[in-house]
Structure 1
């Protein structure tokens, strides 16, 4: 046990140095996006505060643990400070590209939703989200991540505006939505984010997504960008075989003979190696841009080795490709779920109690910066510490957060005077809010 403890101590030292380097690099990258240094300093505090040990994350709770007398500095940073958050996002993306230089990268898109209690929140409406397991009042945002064999980092996000929101001038004005932001489908948002990522220097050969991102328009755009793709499709998706016959994908895959299924490893979990049966069938491409070669278009099936349940993926590559390569791309798509879990658990990705456009953009940006630095720190620590093998699992982000809270991050301010000040501040403002709500209800009840 002493040997293991010594290795953990070495990793802790490496992690502290890596965190310091990467956090400074991130803050230096976005320094020119602020008009005032006070706002820049507050942003640094907020990013580290998101990783602090608090029950919930919003301007009130973060201001308390950071030692501020009130939430006004954080609220000003989110809503009114002169800060080019779009440029900051691009600078962080360039930083991530530099850190992942030389690694094979897959671009992965997925969406996640945050439940809301009011349609006053920008983009909130009754819509489907897997995060809330159905249709409900929520915000939905599309995220784009770069995924390598060991690192997954979200580099961009786009808030989905339903049609009623995009067309309502009054709500747009109240929420501060820029005039150039128009209604766009999730596929159009994804195409724009992929193009922007490639323009920023992301060296990717593949794109992966689930059924939401299997639309022909997006697939054609991806081919225009020079990317291969592997996207999930439903069993009702229509494909065309080599003879020109049209099939439902679920029926077409039944043409695979029993001996043509191949069992392949798709990763390692806490319970052992994950294995599935895989097969593919050639299909005709239906998304070839003008002047582009046909390439290789296939329908890939994954079958659970016990239940027999199958999942289907439509894939395209510009040249020869093996089933193992396509399986690797498909498996990397699942990694974005881990980034969502990391962001929601440790950096408050879904906890921002904000209602306006700027506030949502900046809260999500700071959350993604914290998650990116965290993921890159874990990768740097694991790659250096792996030279001395021991019976320990690699350093995970949750363990890294515990380490940073213990040795690096400023501990929450909890002296008696500060705690009493905040108790009084909260109760006073809650009393004022309660009185305002009651007065409004009385006025509404009058004839």
Structure 2
């Protein structure tokens, strides 16, 4: 991972410091703050570690893009799911950037928190964090003193949680991230973001309020009805607790779906997915879905369960990579530390996916009629005795020799790639790529 992002650091000192920081995050050093990481490498003061997060010359957004491309090189999947969710980090004081009173995700208490938005790439090989954003309340944007103390860039406007979530989805689409679904909870969705997803060709499953009135046909009359009204009208046979081909139960809930009218000509089929506790009918949850006509109820339930299990992905990033153990107060420091923490967490996830005992993620395969028109995967080369390239280069329909891609003539495990000045020895993914490269 460090070899893939090292070219983003101009000077050698922050480049090596970033390697030390990544190793320190993954080691059991207590809290991942500057003092603990400096003590791990034998330094008396945390100045070097803190300088990496404050004044060193490197762009956290470009490193984020490199981390995302590194992950996609190993785990790219055209049926993957982009899960957008928020996580609230508990903070002791009020001087950290973006601190406000809300319910913490870890302690479940109302206290001073920082709200971070994260985009998880859920594929067959595992779950990986590929994007992050920090929510700044209106009080921080409007107060000049707070902006100056937290070093918030001038001209940064106020953006809601839904706008930040939409920005991450837009970046993923612009970067041609291979994914079929977008899943988000009701807390990160608003009406403009829903309209954006409806216009986009990607399928989505988003949470909606149970009292929101949606257009649907009940009987022979078309009108607007809420999820609570629809759940009361459904009889017991309409609710399912387990699919015919499912081995385990669907998280001990009852599920049902109702067909909705098409939003606009040419868009996908829409459903209202309902979930409630069996027997009592309490704890009703509603999801608005748009997918292909061949999508079944088990497919929608699997995507909804991935959205529920995303909190465990964020909790594992806090435990294994110290995502919540940062001690930075400035806007730039938060993004830099979070980017390095995401890189460390993805290293752990990729290392686990290479083991035989790794848990695979169940994602429904595509059943749309356009799936047959995609380009087939290229056959492996048989006219050379070279071993397959171990570097994370995306598969391509073009046959490119490994020596051209890696700038090396030998691909054995003991070979070394000569360093290139100003660039990473690992090739950054090209912006233009043909369809059908992913698994």
Instruction: Provide TM-score, normalisation by structure 1.
Output: 0.74
Residue 274 of structure 1 deviates from its aligned partner by 4.0
* 1:81-132 Cα deviation digits (max 9, x unpaired): 0011110001111111111124521000110111223221111122344444
Whole-angstrom distance in 2 between the partners of 1:335 and 1:275: 14
| Structure 2 residues not aligned, in runs of 5+ | 361-439
Pairs within 5 Å for 1:133-282: 133-242=108-217, 243-264=221-242, 274-282=251-259
Could you tell me whether the CA contact under 8 Å between 1:107 and 1:144 is conserved in 2? Answer: yes
Partner of 1:299: 272
Partner of 1:99: 74
Could you tell me whether the CA contact under 8 Å between 1:267 and 1:274 is conserved in 2? Answer: no
Whole-angstrom distance in 1 between the partners of 2:206 and 2:332: 32
Partner of 1:407: none
Whole-angstrom distance in 1 between the partners of 2:358 and 2:231: 44
Whole-angstrom distance in 2 between the partners of 1:218 and 1:318: 20
- Tell me whether 1:379 sits opposite 2:353 in the alignment: yes
Residue 173 of structure 1 deviates from its aligned partner by 2.0
Residue 283 of structure 1 deviates from its aligned partner by 2.4
Instruction: Provide TM-score, normalisation by structure 2.
Output: 0.75
Whole-angstrom distance in 2 between the partners of 1:135 and 1:285: 41
- Tell me whether 1:339 sits opposite 2:313 in the alignment: yes
Whole-angstrom distance in 1 between the partners of 2:250 and 2:191: 34
* 1:142-162 Cα deviation digits (max 9, x unpaired): 111111234111111100000
- Tell me whether 1:322 sits opposite 2:300 in the alignment: no
- Tell me whether 1:365 sits opposite 2:352 in the alignment: no
Whole-angstrom distance in 2 between the partners of 1:384 and 1:344: 20
Whole-angstrom distance in 2 between the partners of 1:131 and 1:165: 24
- Tell me whether 1:55 sits opposite 2:30 in the alignment: yes
One of 52, 59, 70 as aligned partner of 1:84: 59
Could you tell me whether the CA contact under 8 Å between 1:211 and 1:233 is conserved in 2? Answer: yes
- Tell me whether 1:43 sits opposite 2:21 in the alignment: no
- Aligned-partner SS, 1:263: coil
Structure-2 change in CA distance of 1:119 and 1:285 (3 Å):
farther
| Structure 1 residues not aligned, in runs of 5+ | 1-25, 387-447
- Aligned-partner SS, 1:137: strand
More helix by share: 1
Whole-angstrom distance in 2 between the partners of 1:27 and 1:166: 34
Whole-angstrom distance in 1 between the partners of 2:189 and 2:232: 21
Partner of 2:90: 115
Aligned residues: 355
More off after superposition, 89-98 vs 328-337: 328-337
